[in-house]
A and B are shown apart, each in its own frame.
Chain A
């Protein structure tokens, strides 16, 4: 089966940096995604890692270590509008006939305080 773990909640100050960790166990790993979701809305894509290393996109960076089953999302220069839930998702192909499934963790609620 699959297991994706991330912290439930984090609080940070405006202008600071926050790191959200995600650990996963899966077979047939085929990529890791980070999404942002504001309350009552659909998730929006932030970043994608399929190889080990760091991907940087403006204020957001994401890191992946496949051997450790570990990723993190780094949010820099936090703004009030960054208050949202951040979802870690793993794409995997557990067996060829099933194709790729996309499984989400429980999400991390980030609260940015002034």
Chain B
């Protein structure tokens, strides 16, 4: 079955540690996106990528980093520079500039 997979579903980290969230898709989509969602809020764009080896900052990129070495994978690193990292993180992919975006099930990150 084709789809987009995020792992893990729940993640706990100590303050000051970097953590990497995984996002893999086998839909052959060119575009991939990372969003952050806080309780009762909408989705805020962190980074997006249209093709391999290229990515763009979204609206809240500070304290985050990404890579796009393979078409299928778009991992997000939450660095210690992110002041308030506890949130629900969603990854999505789409066929470039056409069609809807499909979402993974999300990773709920808690930093203690």
Contact = CB atoms under 8 A, between A and B. Distances in A.
Interface of A: 30, 33, 40-45, 48, 87, 89, 91, 93, 98-107, 109
A96 to B, nearest CB: 11
Given A102-B33, A102-B48, A48 B42 contact: no
Contacts of A105: 42
Given A42-B106, A99-B56, A104 B42 contact: yes
Interface of B: 31, 33, 35, 40-45, 48, 50-51, 54, 56, 58-59, 88, 90, 92, 94, 96-97, 99-106
A99 B43 contact: no
A104 B33 CA distance: 12
B41 A106 contact: yes
A95 to B, nearest CB: 10
B69 to A, nearest CB: 18
A109 B41 CA distance: 10
